[in-house]
A and B are shown apart, each in its own frame.
Chain A
Amino acid sequence: DIQMTQSPSSLSASVGDRVTITCRASQSISSYLNWYQRKPGKAPKLLIYAASSLQSGVPSRFSGSGSGTDFTLTISSLQPEDFATYYCQQTYSTPIFTFGPGTKVDIK
Chain B
Amino acid sequence: QVQLQESGPGLVKPSQTLSLTCTVSGDSISSGYYYWSWIRQPAGKGLEWIGRIYKSGSTNYNPSLKSRVTISVDTSKNQFSLRLSSVTAADTAVYYCARDKDWRGFDPWGQGTQVTVSS
Residues on A facing B (Cβ under 8 Å): 32, 34, 36, 41-46, 49-50, 55, 87, 89, 91, 94-102
- Closest Cβ of chain B to A38, distance in Å, is 8
| Residue B30 lies at the interface, judged by CB distance under 8 Å to chain A | no
- Tell me the interface secondary structure of chain A in the complex: loop
> Would A91 and B112 be within 8 Å (CB), given that A99-B47, A99-B49 are in contact?
no
CB distance from B79 to the nearest CB of A (A): 18
Decide if B62 is an interface residue (CB 8 Å cutoff).
yes
Quick check: B109 and A101 within 8 Å, CB to CB? no
Query: Which residues in chain B, 62-97, are within 8 Å of chain A measured between CB atoms?
Result: 62-63, 96
Given A96-B62, A96-B63, CB of A46 within 8 Å of CB of B48: no
How far does the Cβ of B97 sit from chain A's closest Cβ, in whole Å?
10
Known contacts being A43-B96, A50-B104, A55-B105, is A96 close to B111, with CB within 8 Å?
A: no
Give the complex CA separation of A100 and B104 in angstroms.
Answer: 16
CA gap between A49 and B110 in the complex, in Å: 19
Q: A32-B103, A50-B104, A91-B102 are in contact. Are A45 and B109 (CB under 8 A)?
A: yes
Smallest beta-carbon distance B43→chain A, Å: 12
Residue of A32, A41, A95 with highest tally of chain B CB at under 10 A: A95
Contact call B102/A100, Cβ cutoff below 8 A? no
Is B60 in contact with A95, judged by CB distance below 8 angstroms?
Answer: yes
Say which residue of A41, A44, A50, A96 sits within 8 Å of B103 (CB atoms).
Answer: A50
